[in-house]
């Protein structure tokens, strides 16, 4: 079973939420914290469930997400 | 090479080719159509590209792109077409790109007519488009000078990374004169490491006139001013004709200057110590000869095919030391030798006012 | 077990954070172009020509040689560049006001000449940079700062379907409209952008790709609501698809 990791660069994120709706697993939410630019950055709530599909990164307008995938 | 008889417009076109111009983008307008027509045949012979654009605006923007790509490039037009090009000329100046622009001036304002005029002097020498910039402007007075200055225009454009304008008029473009092409081999421009050519093995190049940070734009404008000052210090050119010992100095350029020479000859024959100072560069304007002539001349007479444009630069140069009179014809009408001479006589006989 | 990167910033993109407003899908388009440049391995062989408008700073994000153009004139500037460098890949990026209003002449005649350039056209149905005025592609009924009661076709006419218009010209080799409002369309959009570059590289002629995009700030909607508004209002008027492919040009 594929296991993934979506790495969101907090400082590049503008908190638009497009990745939140893009994630088929519903794993992304906007943080309560503010980043250095004053946005609520996206965070992965449960990385264990990430499959590494990269749809979040595909929809990110700010190239703030890198995705890794592990094959077991 | 012996002299050949050529029309001004065609001579400019051939001179451009010798000067290394490989790209021409233009749009038809009278009285300069022989330039694009000649280059449509000639440029492909030397591996160049002639392209008739869909508009004057497109033509100058193609020039913008070709100049930013490192080419020697030219466009030509007349009055109304040059007005349309002003946006592009401002961008080209702001991005510090070399190119040559020919204006065979016709009667204005508006659609005016297709007769010769000098009423685009302000537009050529004082900016024309938006922002703080200068063109180097040549005012040739013969077909030979059209040739020599066009070839040189490409050199100056590259040396200063600045557009150069050839300010002719409908007569210069249409008349035929014997001309000699002193440049034997087609010239090549210098290497342009700043040009947009594809960032192969180097950091990317950026051709732009956008400086969104005020301090950066001010710095850019300061650099431009330094460049214009440098040009003004070394590139002013003029011709003096009996202007060393005068009671009256005529000031005229281009076609009008030729008539004024005949006026000076007639005046000298009839005992009036007249002379002519003819600017060859209209920007930078050769102010010093006028200032110096004010030491011995009693008066100046500026003659133009306009309602009075260059006369302002002559007055600035003379700086109030002597009166500067003006005679102008407009509408495509060329002032006659007789009417200029009559004005000279009137000024001389009336004493200094 | 080994971890492989399946998604990273394309090499042709700089590290600079883009200036676009939060949720503006222009950033996706910016990235797709860089991915295509990487995949075709043309970074050192490409000259980009930019617009005036929201994408005026696009050169900050692509690591390629770049030539500015004044508002609407990118296809003319790109023509000048391409004529000097026929062996290079020359592409332009323009917004709707730039390409379909003030620059209509330049794009139509670049297409008519069959200029071998790739033109990208971002349509978000509004003037973004100047603060939300009516664009040539504003939908009838859409509210903008200069159509406060909604675009009235009696007063302000109808949106320009530029990409369909260009498809009828013999000089156009490729004409297509895509959108980037969901992952499936983003993938499709990239394929089409790549095709537009390939059409140029093969010397087949002029290529135009219109890309539908959002403008949350000036539409007055959240980024997620903007996606929905695009689907419900823009897509029906501006259908996605290929209007002309190179095979048809010789017919």
State the ipTM, two decimals: 0.96
Q: How many CB pairs under 8 A join A and C?
A: 83
H/E stretch holding B51 reads: strand B49-52
**C-beta separation of C40 from C198 below 8 A:** yes
- When CB atoms are compared, the residue of B54, B69, B200 closest to C109 is B54
Q: How confident is the model at residue C3 (pLDDT cuts 50, 70, 90)?
A: confident
Nearest to B259 by CA among B340, B191, B205: B340
Q: What is the CA radius of gyration of chain C?
A: 17
Hey, which chains touch B, using 3+ CB pairs under 8 Å?
Answer: C
The verdict on a CB contact (< 8 Å) between C59 and B206 is yes
Give the list of residues 6+ apart from residue B312 with CB closer than 8 angstroms, or none: none
- Residue A54: which domain range? 3-59
Count the domains in chain A: 1
Q: Which residue of B has its CA nearest to C14?
A: B204
Q: For residue C130, what is the domain's CATH number? A: 3.40.50.970
Percentage of chain C modeled with pLDDT above 70: 98
Q: Which residue would you say has higher pLDDT here, C168 or C250?
A: C168
pLDDT for res C249: 47
Among A52, A59, A68, the residue with its CB nearest the CB of C186 is A59
Partner-chain residue, chosen from A5, A12, A18, that has the shortest CB–CB distance to C223: A18
Yes or no, beta carbons of A68 and C3 under 8 Å apart: yes
Assigned domain for A51 exists: yes
| Cα B200 to chain centroid, rounded | 37
C166 neighbors C172 (Cβ within 8 angstroms) = yes
Cβ distance of C4 and A21 shorter than 8 Å: no
Say whether C83 sits in a helix, a strand or coil.
helix
- Cβ pair B61:C80 closer than 8 A: yes
Assigned token pair, C17? 């954070």
Distance CA(C186)–CA(A59), nearest Å, equals 8
Give yes or no for residue B352 having a pLDDT over 80. Answer: no
CA distance C233 to chain A (A): 19
Partner-chain contact A68 C187, CB within 8 Å: no
Distance from CA of B140 to the nearest CA of C (A): 28
- Is the pLDDT at C122 greater than 90? The verdict is yes
For residues B263 and B340, the answer to whether their CB atoms sit within 8 Å is: yes
As a whole number, mean pLDDT of residues C26-41 equals 98
**C-beta separation of B281 from B237 below 8 A:** yes
Contact A3, A31 (CB under 8 A): no
Per-residue model confidence (pLDDT) at position B1? 59
What pLDDT shows up at residue C247? 76
pLDDT number for residue B351: 63
For residues C73 and B68, what is the distance between their CA atoms, to the nearest angstrom?
A: 14
**Residue B149 to chain C, least CA–CA distance (Å):** 25
Let me know if residue A16 belongs to a domain. yes
Structural domain span for residue C70: 26-249
CB contact under 8 A, A21 and C224: yes
Closest Cα in chain B to C77: B65
Domain regions of chain B by residue span = 4-234, 240-349
Question: pLDDT tens-digit profile of B235-254?
Answer: 999 999 999 989 999 999 99
Which of A4, A61, A65, A69 is the best mutation test for C, with the most CBs of C within 10 A? A61
pLDDT, tens only, B87-121: 999 999 999 999 999 999 999 999 999 999 999 99
Q: Which residue of C has its CA nearest to B209?
A: C68
pLDDT the model gives residue A1: 57
Query: C141 lies in a domain?
Result: yes
- Per-position DSSP letters for B218-272, written without gaps between them: HHHHHHHHHHHHHHHHH---EEEES-SS-SEEEE--HHHHHHHHHHHHHHHHTT-
Our CA-based measurement puts residue C21 at a distance from the nearest CA of chain A, in whole angstroms, of 8
Q: Is the pLDDT of residue B328 over 50?
A: yes
Residues of B in contact with C85 (CB under 8 A): 69, 197-198
Within the 53-72 window of chain C, which residues sit less than 8 Å (CB to CB) from chain B? Answer: 56-57, 59, 63-70
- The answer to whether C14 contacts chain A (CB < 8 Å) is no
In a domain, C9, yes or no: no
Non-local CB neighbours of B320 within 8 Å, separated by 6+ positions: none
Interface test with C, best of B51, B52, B61, B195 (most C CBs within 10 A): B61
Are the Cβ atoms of B23 and C84 closer than 8 angstroms? Answer: yes
Which chain C residues have a beta carbon less than 8 Å from that of B68? 67, 77, 80-81
- Asked if C105 lies within 8 A of B57 by C-beta distance, the reply is yes
Contact C182 A59 (CB under 8 A): yes
Over residues C139-149, mean pLDDT: 97
Interface contact flag, C3 A70, Cβ < 8 Å: yes
Other chains touching A, judged by 3 or more CB pairs under 8 Å: C
What's the structural domain count of chain C? 1
Chains that touch C (3 or more CB pairs under 8 A): A, B
Count the Cβ atoms, other than its own, within 10 Å of residue A44.
21
C244 within a domain of the structure (yes/no): yes
- Return the CATH fold of B4-234: Rossmann fold (3.40.50)
Closest by Cα among A61, B49, B21, B239 to C26: A61
Question: What percentage of chain B has pLDDT greater than the value 90?
Answer: 97
C36 falls within a domain? yes
Average pLDDT over residues C220-232: 98
Residues B317 and B315: their CA atoms lie apart, in Å, by 5
Mean pLDDT over each residue of chain B, to the nearest integer: 97
Q: Which of B69, B201, B204 sits opposite C84 (nearest CB)?
A: B69
CATH number (domain holding residue A45): 3.30.70.20
Looking at domain B240-349, its CATH class is alpha beta
Mean pLDDT of chain C: 96
pLDDT band at residue C251, thresholds of 50, 70 and 90? very low
H/E element holding C130? none
Residue numbers of chain A with a pLDDT score lower than 50: none
Write out the residues of chain A at the interface with chain C, using a CB-CB cutoff of 8 A. 4-5, 11-12, 14-18, 20-22, 39, 52, 54-55, 57-63, 65-72
Judging contacts by C-beta atoms under 8 Å, the chain A residues touching residue C7 are 54, 57-58, 65-67
CATH topology agreement for domains B4-234 and B240-349: yes
């Amino acid at each position: 079973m594929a296991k993934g990791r979506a790495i969101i660069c907090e400082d590049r994120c503008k908190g638009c939420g497009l990745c939140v709706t893009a994630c088929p697993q519903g794993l992304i939410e906007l943080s309560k914290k503010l980043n250095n630019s004053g946005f609520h950055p996206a965070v992965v709530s449960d990385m264990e469930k990430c499959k590494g599909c990269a749809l979040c990164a595909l929809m990110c307008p700010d190239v703030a997400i890198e995705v890794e995938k592990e094959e077991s | 090479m012996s002299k050949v008889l050529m029309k001004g417009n065609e001579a400019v076109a051939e001179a451009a080719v010798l000067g290394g111009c490989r790209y021409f983008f233009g749009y038809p307008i009278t009285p300069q159509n022989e330039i694009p027509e000649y280059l449509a045949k000639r440029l492909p012979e030397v591996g160049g590209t002639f392209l008739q654009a869909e508009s004057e605006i497109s033509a100058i923007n193609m020039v913008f792109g070709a100049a930013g790509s490192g080419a020697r490039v030219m466009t030509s037009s007349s009055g109304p077409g040059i007005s349309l090009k002003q946006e592009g000329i401002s961008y080209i100046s702001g991005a510090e790109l070399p190119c040559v622009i020919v204006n065979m001036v016709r009667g204005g304002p508006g659609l005016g007519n297709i007769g010769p005029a000098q009423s685009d002097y302000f537009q050529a020498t004082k900016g024309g488009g938006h922002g703080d910039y200068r063109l180097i402007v040549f005012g040739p007075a013969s077909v030979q000078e059209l040739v020599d200055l066009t070839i040189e225009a490409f050199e100056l454009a590259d040396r200063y990374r600045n557009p150069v304008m050839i300010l002719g008029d409908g007569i210069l473009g249409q008349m035929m004169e014997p001309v000699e092409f002193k440049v034997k081999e087609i010239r090549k421009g210098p290497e342009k490491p700043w040009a947009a050519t594809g960032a192969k093995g180097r950091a990317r190049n950026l051709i732009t006139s956008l400086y969104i940070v005020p301090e950066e734009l001010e710095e850019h404008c300061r650099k431009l001013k330094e460049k214009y000052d440098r040009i003004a210090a070394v590139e002013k050119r003029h011709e003096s004709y009996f202007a060393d010992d005068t009671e009256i100095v005529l000031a005229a350029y281009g076609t009008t200057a030729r008539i004024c020479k005949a006026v000076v000859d007639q005046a000298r024959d009839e005992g009036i110590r007249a002379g002519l100072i003819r600017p060859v560069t209209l920007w930078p304007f050769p102010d010093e000869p006028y200032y110096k002539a004010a030491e011995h001349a009693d008066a100046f007479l500026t003659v133009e095919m306009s309602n009075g444009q260059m006369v302002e630069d002559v007055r600035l140069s003379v700086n109030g030391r002597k009166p500067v009179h003006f005679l102008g014809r407009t509408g495509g009408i060329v002032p006659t030798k007789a009417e200029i001479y009559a004005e000279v006589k009137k000024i001389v006989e009336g004493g200094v006012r | 077990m080994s971890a492989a990167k399946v998604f990273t910033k394309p090499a042709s993109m700089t590290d600079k954070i883009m200036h676009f407003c939060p949720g503006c899908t222009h950033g996706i388009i910016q990235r797709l172009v860089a991915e295509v440049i990487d995949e075709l391995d043309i970074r050192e062989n490409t000259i980009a020509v930019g617009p005036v408008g929201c994408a005026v700073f696009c050169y900050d994000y692509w690591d390629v040689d770049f030539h500015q153009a004044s508002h609407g004139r990118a296809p003319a500037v790109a023509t000048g560049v391409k004529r000097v460098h026929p062996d290079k890949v020359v592409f332009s990026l323009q917004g709707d006001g730039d390409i379909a209003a003030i620059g209509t002449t330049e794009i139509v005649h670049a297409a008519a000449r069959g200029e071998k350039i790739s033109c990208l056209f971002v349509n978000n149905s509004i003037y973004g940079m100047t603060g939300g005025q009516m664009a040539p592609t504003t939908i009838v009924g859409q509210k903008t700062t200069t159509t406060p009661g909604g675009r009235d076709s009696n007063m302000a006419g109808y949106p320009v379907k530029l990409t369909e218009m260009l498809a009828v010209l013999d000089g156009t080799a490729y004409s297509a409209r895509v959108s980037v409002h969901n992952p499936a369309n983003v993938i499709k959009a990239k394929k089409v952008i790549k095709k537009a570059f390939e059409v140029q590289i093969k010397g087949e002629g002029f290529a135009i790709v219109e890309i539908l995009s959002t403008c949350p700030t000036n539409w007055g909607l959240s980024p997620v609501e903007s996606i929905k508004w695009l689907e419900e209002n823009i897509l029906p008027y501006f259908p996605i698809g290929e209007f002309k492919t190179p095979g048809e040009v010789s017919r």
